[in-house]
Structure 1
Amino acid sequence: MSNRISREELVKIYKIEVSFFDSLQNSGLLNTETEDEVTYLLYEELPAFEKYATWHYDLEVNIPGIEIISHLLSKMEALRSENLKLRQNLR
């Protein structure tokens, strides 16, 4: 069993535009693999893809907005982890 899904399958399943997927890929928000001229998304990237698709289609957030939100959430998580680590060191 493969641990990836093709871009074409994603477009059909999620009813998205290929250009949206390509924009996510080009902006570095998604890590993909290409084999025999077919682009694949690893299953481990699916939660991020679904989150971005929801933001874009349901909340009407554009690609630059998705990049900013994703970056800020990553920073928040890093700060949360650092905070936890510092609290543990104080004990």
Structure 2
Amino acid sequence: MPTEYITVKTYCVHYNVTPDFILLLDEAGLIEIPEVDGEPSIALDYFPKLERYINLHYDLRINIEGIDVVTNLLDRVSTLQNEINSLKSRLKLYE
């Protein structure tokens, strides 16, 4: 299924964020902003991540580097929680 895109300009107007913030996320490697029809665009797949990044930046005033760190830590916590759940399931076999 082909990926759908929305322009950065349209996204920024709709979500009331600055295009500079979106482009900084791209520079930091948190999202990818390809050019589609000559316009920088965002894949719809990135919307959930972008919403989290916007909340971290505008609501909690966390800078781009901090967003990268928080995101990595949250991913690690999620991985560890999955591992714990898997181990708990395996241990139930011995109960």
Do these two structures clear the TM 0.5 threshold for a shared fold by scoring above it? Answer: yes
Name the aligned partner's letter for residue 52 of structure 1. Y
1:82 match: 83
TM-score, scaled to structure 1: 0.86
Q: Provide the identity percentage.
A: 27
Q: Distance in 2 between matches of 1:38 and 1:8?
A: 9
Deviation sequence 1:31-87 (CA, Å, 0-9, x none)? 333223322212221011011111111111110111111010000001011111112
Q: Distance in 2 between matches of 1:50 and 1:89?
A: 35
2:39 match: 38
Q: Distance in 2 between matches of 1:42 and 1:36?
A: 13
* Residue segments in structure 2 that go unaligned for 5+ positions in a row: none
Deviation at 1:5, TM superposition (A): 1.4
1:8 match: 9
Moved over 2 A (4+): 31-37
Deviation at 1:4, TM superposition (A): 2.2
Q: Give me the CA root mean square deviation.
A: 1.5
* Residue segments in structure 1 that go unaligned for 5+ positions in a row: none
Please state whether the residue corresponding to 2:90 is helix, strand or coil: helix
CA contact (8 A) 2:33 2:42 kept: yes
1:63 match: 64
Which of 77-86 and 34-43 deviates more?
34-43
2:21 match: 20
User: How many residues are paired up?
Assistant: 90
Q: Distance in 2 between matches of 1:6 and 1:50?
A: 16
Larger Cα-atom Rg: 2
